[in-house]
Amino acid sequence: MSSDLVRLAQDWLAQDPDPRTREELRELLDEGDEEALRERFGAKLEFGTAGLRGELGAGPNRMNRVTVMRAAAGLAAVLGPDRHVVIGYDARHNSDVFARDTAAVLTGAGLRASLLPAPLPTPVLAFAVRHLGADAGVTVTASHNPPRDNGYKVYWGDGSQIVPPVDAGISAAIDAVGPVSSLPLGSPGDPGWTDLGEEIVAAYLDAVTLLPLGDARELKVVYTPLHGVGGVTLTSAFLAAGFASPVTVEAQADPDPDFPTVAFPNPEEPGAMDLALELAGRIGADLVLANDPDADRCAVGVPLPQGGHRMLTGDEVGALLGEHVIRHTSGDDRLVATTIVSSSLLGKIAAEHGVGYAETLTGFKWIMKAGGGRGNLVYGYEEALGYSVGSGGGLPVHDKDGIGAALTVAGLAARAKRDGRTLLDLLDDQARRYGLHATSQLSVRVNDLSLIAGAMARLRAAPPVELGGRKVESAEDLSLGSAGLPPTDGIRYRLAGGARVVVRPSGTEPKLKCYLETVVPVTGEVADARAQAVRELGALTADLSAALGL
């Protein structure tokens, strides 16, 4: 084996406080498994605007106690002593351990650390940062990644995720950290260490029950937390707001880091909602709701006139919630925001109601910066099932909030039910008023990331002149940046008739993601316009697939 690899592994063993990862590493050394060692030590997890996320295991290219302690030490160095950090965690493998390690490193460095009382939804952490007047927050979660992963996400004092250049500063500070075995560590009971109680959850529930929920409450809801941490908090929120307790999918009700009933714990993935939809059909539910494992996302399903249920897209829910918030708030400085890969419909709704509108790069860290701080941001969403719902006083959570969104959708659905209507009827109303905005995604997962780079290079060198029978009117290379957007690796095509395609590499998975939208005027039946939109999206998908060459 390479002597350098052996030395790196031995240096790691000397500082690793975790007996499990030490045993893993010793076995690899004893077996002489150079390939496995090189995979763990030939690279490292890079700290970026999404923090850290990766597979659990030994070495700098894995999530483990050493990686987490180094991240905490880097954060402490950037913040400086006497600062206050709130720490939350989900129910994944080692999340509680990583959270306590973070508190130990921060308090050992002279900072104050407040630890949430249990595995809780990420939006509770984001809320707590501002509620407690903290300087930063950390949550240990890998969201909807596979069971073998975990992650580490940092929030700043405004309660939103960090953006450049803060991420680069923390990353540089992490690189300067020496062996974690030499770090001074605090412990529970030390003056700087606070174990928070249930009062922080109560404060969060008080905030989300003040959202514009309306006064209708009669609704039969099926809910699944997908083995995550949303169940208790969402049920408490529903009861606090006056709704009946949702009927929860029993097999997915309790937190389980192995996610035994789903291939991927993401409500967008095929099959993830099967149990919830089956239960909804059996009991005749008016609404189906799901959170991802850390409960910052919300999925919505509705009954169909012919029987059964279907899941709404993130853009459909985003448009319904956006118009609902606009109708139930006031003020000339209101602002709503979404991302460049979400539907363009929210912009038309905002214009119709005379409300400010902004588009940002993908991710809630950017949505929270919409408008450059000018205007009262009352709503933001992204098509990947992320929504932050506010009231006239602004947003209680400066991040996506699957609990608050679920509550607001329930209020909207209950009002529609009282009027003898459904959310599908409300979507039809929007289609007639603004045109039918239909969206879909094309995602290509690869094992070799160079394939994605090659596809992007081909699209930049030879942009298509036509997609789906529509002329490509403009091709915008988003890596060049613009007055309104920082540079990002992506391409946006605007097509004749208001259609649009955005292509970008995923920031968290080995995928190339393509976002398609077509706009169909409604001159007759909405159903006919929907059928036409399906055909147009199919044609766009086929042509784009050919252009990608993957």
Active site residues: 143
User: What is the C-alpha separation between 150 and 395, in angstroms, rounded?
Assistant: 28
- Its sign, for the CA torsion 55, 56, 60, 66, is positive
Please answer whether residues 128 and 99 qualify as being in contact, where contact means their C-beta atoms are separated by less than 8 angstroms.
Answer: no
HEC sequence for 295-345: CCEEEEEEECCCCCEEECCHHHHHHHHHHHHHHCCCCCCEEEEEECCCCCH
Nearest to 273 by CA among 285, 257, 291, 255: 291
- Token output for 540: 């766009």
199 phi and psi angles, rounded to 5 deg: -60, -30
Q: If residue 102 lies in a helix (H) or strand (E), which one and from where to where?
A: helix 95-108
Which residues have a Cβ under 8 Å from the Cβ of 307 and sit 6 or more positions away? 281
Q: Can you tell me whether residue 290 is helix, strand or coil?
A: strand
Measured CA to CA, the distance from residue 205 to residue 214 in angstroms comes to: 17
Spell out the SS3 assignment of 490-537.
CEEEEEHHHCEEEEEECCCCCEEEEEEEEEECCCCCHHHHHHHHHHHH
Closest C-alpha among 94, 180, 181, 194 to residue 140: 94
**CA 507 from centroid of its chain's CA atoms:** 12
Residues 234 and 70: their CA atoms lie apart, in Å, by 34
**Torsion angle (degrees, nearest 10) of CA 449, 453, 455, 458:** -160
Radius of gyration of the chain (CA): 24
In the sheet where 136-140 sits, what is the strand order? 52-55, 149-156, 136-140, 84-89, 112-115, 193-195
Distance CA 93, CA 232 (A): 19
Q: How far apart are CA 474 and CA 542, in angstroms?
A: 20
State how far the alpha carbon of 98 is from the alpha carbons of 54, 81, 87, 151, 546, in Å.
Answer: 14, 21, 10, 10, 44
Q: Which residue has the tokens 């930049």?
A: 460
Contact status, residue 145 vs residue 292, Cβ threshold 8 Å: no
Give CA–CA dist 425/419, Å, rounded: 11
Amino acid at 43: A
